[in-house]
A and B are shown apart, each in its own frame.
Chain A
Amino acid sequence: MVQIFIKTSEDTGINEWAIIELQGDLECENGKDINGKFMADLFFNKDGTPILILGHHVMYGKVCNLEKPMVLIKKHKKLNEIDDGMELDDMKENFKTEYLVKSVIRKKILFNKRPKPIVF
């Protein structure tokens, strides 16, 4: 059996991130690398309504509080403490997996209304 620890890190306190929830799947051009690419512009109406322009769609959404808070945790390999009498060979196997809490998430922007197409 393993024991995996989940705990806070120095980042945890600083970061409070958000979730954008979309309806349906996020489609990308086939085969292209999406890393680093621009995704969407986010505007807000003066009444607080968020508006997302993503590709050829404009979507109206709603800011909601999450029913229960969420945390984003990140895997981290930690070197085990060295015991006296440990052989050098042992040290290769001596990593422990743990998860550090990167941020706390309490709100999301939900876009579940039908998107309107944009004609360019």
Chain B
Amino acid sequence: MEVTETEESALKDKTNRQLRSKELLDELIDKAKLNKDDLEPSVQHIYLSNSLTANEEYKLLELDDDGLNYLLEGNSLIIRGSETENAVCCTKNATFSFKVAEISNPLLITSNLSLSGKCDLEASNSEVLFLTNSYFLMAKEKPKLQKIKNLLELNLYSGRAYEQNNAQKYTIEHFLDCIQASEEEIYQYLNYIQAFQIDGFWRLLDFRYLNQIMDNILKLIEEKCWLFDKIPAKDIYQELDSIYEISVLNQVVLYYFTRNDDDANFYSMRKEKIVYFYADSILRATIKMRFTEFQMILEKSLPSNLGIEFNLCLIQVIFFIQKIK
């Protein structure tokens, strides 16, 4: 027996479809052996959207609550990747893998659907806008930052005189366009590798150049007999600005000294950093070296007013050496 629609209810709703007639529905309920008394009075008619099969534009993305809130607050998630890489998805400060999960059950994404049956309207229409067997998901991942160092090492900075005009230089925008990481992770890495901002571009200093600058600064400190925790940065700039640019000097100071809490005019040496720096410069010059010899050279290289805390630093230097081996 065929189920036929009567012509009586030609009512249309906002999706401009006819509401299915009561008689038809009653017949269905009866044939399906449902008990009308057990049912909520309202019914929802589900249609497939007019452009369902044409819709290659929709995607389903699973998030966690933090990710969802991040979006709802007005922030953007940014997918970064080239054709040859696996895509990542980034917030302002974290990186996630961006992968597809496929499932066996079809998922119908439906608009205007009540999930309780307790509806004011006796009948309403809903639309399936997207039909899919897959969705994207994100998992926290380590950002890929090494490329930044590789790029910066291609054009080390040794002062204006040695600058090559046609060498590629990078701003944060360049990095955001080619590095699979979040903006904050990029900045943290730039700080970690001790990158310098010169003329709006990020640069790495040539090691010998940095060595020169450090030597000059530490010599100055010794000459002027400044205490290691009371170094007037302004005087450093004044004495050395004929040789080096102030912005470069300033960044060297920020990396190797800390501003004093009690008086912003004075800085303190960051001893570990300076010891590491000299240890690094000694080790760069040789392939291998006996530790006792290394220790002797290092002691000689360091400024005398670091003396007392040396042993403590030494232990940390040992770990440093293990690391670079």
Interface residues of A (CB under 8 A from B): 1-8, 12-13, 15, 17-26, 33-48, 50-51, 53, 58, 63, 68-76, 99, 101-105, 107-109, 112, 116, 118-120
How many inter-chain residue pairs (CB < 8 Å) link A and B?
212
Residues in B134-150 with C-beta less than 8 Å from chain A: 135
Interface of B is mostly: mixed
Contact status A15-B40, CB under 8 Å: no
Partner of A68, one of B63, B76, B177: B63
> Known: A44-B39, A118-B31. Contact between A68 and B107, CB under 8 A?
no
Q: Is the CB of A69 within 8 A of B63?
A: yes
Q: Interface majority SS on A: helix, strand, loop or mixed?
A: strand
Chain A to chain B contacts (Cβ below 8 Å), 24 pairs: A1-B80, A2-B79, A3-B176, A4-B79, A17-B110, A19-B108, A20-B46, A20-B110, A24-B105, A26-B106, A34-B48, A35-B51, A36-B49, A38-B46, A41-B20, A41-B46, A42-B113, A50-B115, A71-B60, A71-B71, A74-B58, A109-B113, A118-B31, A118-B32
Report the minimal beta-carbon distance from A30 to chain B, rounded to whole angstroms.
14
Assess the B135–A6 pair: CB atoms within 8 A: no
Pick from B47, B51, B61: contact of A71, CB below 8 A.
B61
Beyond A5-B78, A45-B39, list 14 extra A-B contacts (CB 8 Å): A1-B82, A3-B80, A17-B110, A17-B129, A34-B48, A38-B45, A39-B48, A43-B40, A45-B38, A58-B34, A68-B64, A70-B60, A72-B61, A119-B31
Interface residues of B in 47-62 (CB under 8 A from A): 47-54, 56-62
User: Roughly how many angstroms separate A73 CA and B129 CA in the complex, as a whole number?
Assistant: 12
